[in-house]
């Protein structure tokens, strides 16, 4: 089983070692943090956007479609009452010259995002303390 090792470098910062990489999170000042890094929730949202973008990029690359001016943005809003993001809107700006015949297919490719699939079919969480 793979592992992510987490340490606590100060105040509300949390640092995760993921393979050879380090990911630092923090909280906004209004929540007591230093606002020195994205929050875990912002990384969660970013993982959805970048995962969808990866599948769009892979789709284009396998068809030799130039992606130099392709862009993706994801809109989201926080529902304070439900304490969740009720809707995420992902918009892909297709590259110039993108073939019309692939419009539906690239959406289907983006829908293969593994992060999204984990939301739709969540893993089992096992929490322990030692």
User: What digits encode the pLDDT tens for the residues 96-129?
Assistant: 999 999 999 999 999 999 999 999 999 999 999 9
Cα 99 from Cα 86, distance rounded (Å): 33
- What is the dotted CATH code of the domain comprising 38-123? 3.30.300.20
Angle at 84 between CA 126 and CA 114, to 5 degrees: 60
User: Is the sign of the CA dihedral 74, 77, 82, 83 positive or negative?
Assistant: positive
CA–centroid distance for 52 within its chain: 8
Q: Over the range 84-101, which residues count as b (16 or more CB within 10 Å of their CB) and which as e?
A: eeeeeebebebeeebeee
Q: How far apart are CA 42 and CA 29, in angstroms?
A: 15
Q: What are phi and psi of 119, to 5 degrees?
A: -75, -45
Tokens of residue 18, six digits: 């993921």
Could you read off the pLDDT of 17-54 as tens digits, one per residue?
999 999 999 999 999 999 999 999 999 999 999 999 99
pTM of the model: 0.91
- Averaged over 58-81, what is the pLDDT? 97
Kindly list the domain boundaries of the chain, sorted by start residue: 1-37, 38-123
Treating both helix axes as pointing N-terminal to C-terminal, what angle do 40-62 and 103-110 enclose, rounded to 10 degrees? 140
Q: What does the alpha-carbon distance between residue 60 and residue 66 come to, in Å, rounded to a whole number?
A: 7
């Amino acid at each position: 089983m793979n592992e992510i090792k987490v340490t606590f470098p100060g105040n509300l910062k949390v640092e995760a070692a993921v393979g050879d990489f380090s990911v630092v999170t923090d909280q906004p000042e209004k929540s007591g943090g230093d606002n020195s890094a994205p929050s875990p929730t912002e990384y969660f949202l970013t993982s959805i956007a970048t995962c969808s973008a990866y599948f769009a990029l892979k789709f284009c690359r396998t068809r030799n479609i130039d992606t130099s001016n392709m862009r993706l943005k994801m809109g989201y809003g926080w529902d304070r009452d439900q304490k969740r993001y009720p809707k995420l809107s992902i918009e892909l700006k297709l590259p110039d010259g993108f073939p019309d015949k692939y419009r539906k297919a690239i959406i289907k490719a983006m829908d293969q995002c593994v992060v999204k699939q984990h939301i739709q079919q969540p893993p089992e969480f096992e929490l322990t303390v030692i």
